[in-house]
A and B are shown apart, each in its own frame.
Chain A
């Protein structure tokens, strides 16, 4: 029983919603699409300011890998991401379980863990630089793995506590009654049950490490341990900056995370939202 006026009003509403959605899509796609477009432009055309290349070329894609060791940097970045992601989860998971289920540390430890996240990483910059130098881990991938692995602990705690709270406590209780020790419960019973949660947490922490720039640029100055974001920042700083090659280098660094986004979207969104903000 909707009147004509009402119906046109509603149709106008839908039209506005679709226009808004189109704007949102355009805004979020624009930089990525333009980045890809520039990667196919010749040096002259890259300076023209047109959206699309009029004569697309693969030169940038051939040259860039020869000018800078992108493969090496990609390997470095992935190594840091994978191992620091695993390290973070390995350290944070048993502790989060103990805090959530066994109330170890009372109110203080969870609050303190989260509070450390508020401090900007630049606070740790100078002390960690001196510490890494003292133990000989400056300019090493091990150093970056450790620094990122520890730095993401509060994030992992936040995500994992959401996943653990979702599991019915009856499972733990049954295991306790059977006389299982805490280590057994954590690694043999709980861990397999929340494998997707552990994977999502490791993925998110790994991506954070992959994306990290400030600490990576300060703690590794050597080409053999340089990560992609650092390499791209240095590449930008060079005098003869070639937009096409810069685009190729950036896309190379973006592809791994977009592949993860493509294949693990559910896990990622689940991981981001499970901690629950309210």
Chain B
């Protein structure tokens, strides 16, 4: 989404007619959005940068200016470093799995199976479910007492003792990942299905007439043609995955220990439960740098794939 391709699309064709109307009126059109972004994006960023160099509590922000103290304590903080690594270990692999699964589902829908329309409607539901309710639903399945999964495993004799899926590793991390996959795979499926439908039929048809097998068509025609789209979807998913908060809050509350604490959850905990908003701000800045470091190469890769696909 945050990508040059979209920007190119947006401003591609310049208006052919002479644009009438006075300049101030034109700026009046964009003013509401610009002011909105100033309040929601620009001001917070400047404020958080200033806070990160200050000693601030939630009750009394900007008490002193110890400048680098917050950053120095983060540099020594092993737990925070682990949180950053954990965040990246969630925000890259999980979207990759979702993109692969979602595309597979889109291919399935594209086969015009009986009931495909019905599945398309169904697939929309996880995406729309409020994440906190997604967490509740999966909690009911994964809970150690009364959970469906433990119930089934115990009755079938596969395990003798109930497993605490949300309280032990690696299950807790996997549980958050599964709930996320449940919620977001449909997003990939819907977008890549639309892309599949937009593909020119004649190329695939020509290959089929030439006797190419379905798997050859998939690997040599469909995938290369849709590579830029899939990369863009993946990019968007990685962006969203970095925002992960609700599922962690609802399923594991960051535990066991800190084993499912991701960056957004850590910032929230520092700022709104420990009230140290100076340190929380510094964590936010370091987190923002991590997001940029991961996102930028992905946008370059996407631009490259687009240039290749023409």
A residues whose Cβ falls under 8 Å from a Cβ of B:
13, 17-18, 20-21, 24-25, 27-32, 34-35, 38, 46-51, 90-92, 94-107, 109-131, 147, 149-151, 153-154, 157-158, 161, 165, 169, 172-173, 176-177, 179, 181-183, 186, 207, 210-211, 213-214, 218, 228-230, 232-233, 236, 243, 246-247, 250, 253-254, 257-258, 260-262, 265, 268-269, 272-273, 275-278
CB within 8 A of A126: which of B105, B146, B284? B284
Q: Is the CB of A207 within 8 A of B32?
A: no
How far, in whole Å, are A17 and B242 apart by their CA atoms in the complex? 33
Say yes or no: B134 contacts A277, CB within 8 Å.
Answer: no
Given contacts A46-B146, A177-B17, list 5 more A-B pairs with CB under 8 A: A49-B148, A90-B32, A110-B7, A124-B41, A126-B281
Annotate B84-102 by CB proximity to A: 1 below 8 A, 0 otherwise. 0000000000000000000
Chain B residues near A118: list those with CB within 8 A. Answer: 2, 239, 291-292, 295
Q: Give 30 pairs: A residue, B residue, CB < 8 Å, sorted on A.
A: A17-B108, A17-B111, A20-B108, A21-B119, A49-B146, A51-B151, A104-B27, A118-B291, A119-B45, A119-B288, A124-B41, A126-B44, A126-B48, A126-B51, A126-B277, A128-B44, A131-B43, A150-B39, A177-B17, A182-B29, A211-B131, A229-B132, A229-B133, A230-B132, A243-B146, A257-B129, A276-B9, A277-B232, A278-B5, A278-B228
8 Å CB interface, B69-97 against A: none
Find out whether the CB atom of B140 lies under 8 angstroms from the CB atom of A35.
Answer: yes
Q: A236 and B139 in contact (CB under 8 A), knowing A17-B113, A117-B2?
A: yes
Given contacts A46-B146, A232-B136, contact A218 B186 (CB under 8 A): no
Q: Establish whether residues B26 and A214, one from each chain, have CB atoms under 8 Å apart when the complex forms.
A: no
B265: min CB distance to chain A, Å: 8
Residue B203 lies at the interface, judged by CB distance under 8 Å to chain A: no
- Contact indicator A49/B233 (Cβ below 8 Å): no
Q: Complex formed: what's the CA distance from A32 to B130 in Å?
A: 12
Chain B residues, CB < 8 A from A116: 37, 40-41
Instruction: Decide if B67 is an interface residue (CB 8 Å cutoff).
Output: no
Q: Mark B264-281, 1 if CB is under 8 A from A, else 0.
A: 100110011000010011
Measured CB to CB, the closest approach of chain A to B42, in angstroms, equals 8
In the assembly, what is the distance between CA of A275 and CA of B14, in Å?
19
B11 close to chain A: CB less than 8 A: yes
Q: Which of A102, A127, A149, A253 lies in contact with B26, CB distance below 8 A?
A: A102
Q: Chain B at the A interface: mostly helix, strand, loop or mixed?
A: helix
One of A29, A49, A94, A104 near B151 (C-beta < 8 A): A49
A182 and B22 CA atoms in complex are apart in Å by 9
Shortest Cβ distance from residue A258 to the other chain B in the assembled complex, whole angstroms: 6
Interface string of B206-237 (1 = CB under 8 A from A): 00000000100000000000001100110010
Residue B33 at the A interface, CB < 8 A? yes
Give the chain A neighbours of B151 by CB distance below 8 A.
48-51
Q: How far is the CB of A55 from chain B (nearest CB, A)?
A: 16
- Are A107 and B129 neighbours in the complex by a CB distance under 8 Å? no
Least CB separation from B194: chain A residue:
A273
Docked pose: A113 CA to B11 CA in angstroms: 14
Q: Which chain A residue has the least Cβ–Cβ distance from B299?
A: A118
Select one of B15, B145, B236 contacting A102, CB under 8 A: B15
B148 to chain A, nearest CB (A): 6
Question: Which A residues are CB-close (under 8 A) to B245?
Answer: 122, 213-214
Judge whether A91 and B16 touch: CB under 8 Å: no
Whether A104 contacts B26 in the complex (CB less than 8 A), given A28-B182, A122-B268, comes out as yes
Residues of A contacting B: mostly: helix
Interface contact A95-B232, CB-CB below 8 Å: no
Collect the chain A residues with CB atoms within 8 Å of residue B291's CB.
Answer: 118-120
A228 touches B130 (CB 8 A): yes
B68 adjacent to chain A (CB < 8 Å):
no
Determine whether the beta carbon of A269 is less than 8 Å from that of B288. no
How far is B228's CA from A276's CA once the two chains are assembled, in angstroms? 12
B284 and A213 within 8 A (CB)? no
Nearest Cβ in chain A — how far from B294, in angstroms? 10
Chain A hits for B150, CB < 8 A: 49
> How far, in whole Å, are A34 and B182 apart by their CA atoms in the complex?
14
List chain A residues, Cβ under 8 A from B3: 114
With a CB–CB cut-off of 8 A, which chain A residues contact B267?
Answer: 122, 125
Cα-based distance from A122 to B288 in the complex (angstroms): 10
A253 to chain B, nearest CB (A): 5
Given contacts A91-B36, A277-B236, contact A181 B25 (CB under 8 A): yes
Q: Is B201 positioned at the interface, with any CB of A under 8 Å from its CB?
A: no
- Tell whether, in the assembled complex, residue B146 and residue A250 are in contact, meaning their CB atoms are under 8 Å apart: no
> In the complex, what residues of B have CB within 8 A of residue A106's CB?
11
Interfacial chain A residues near B195, Cβ < 8 Å: 277-278
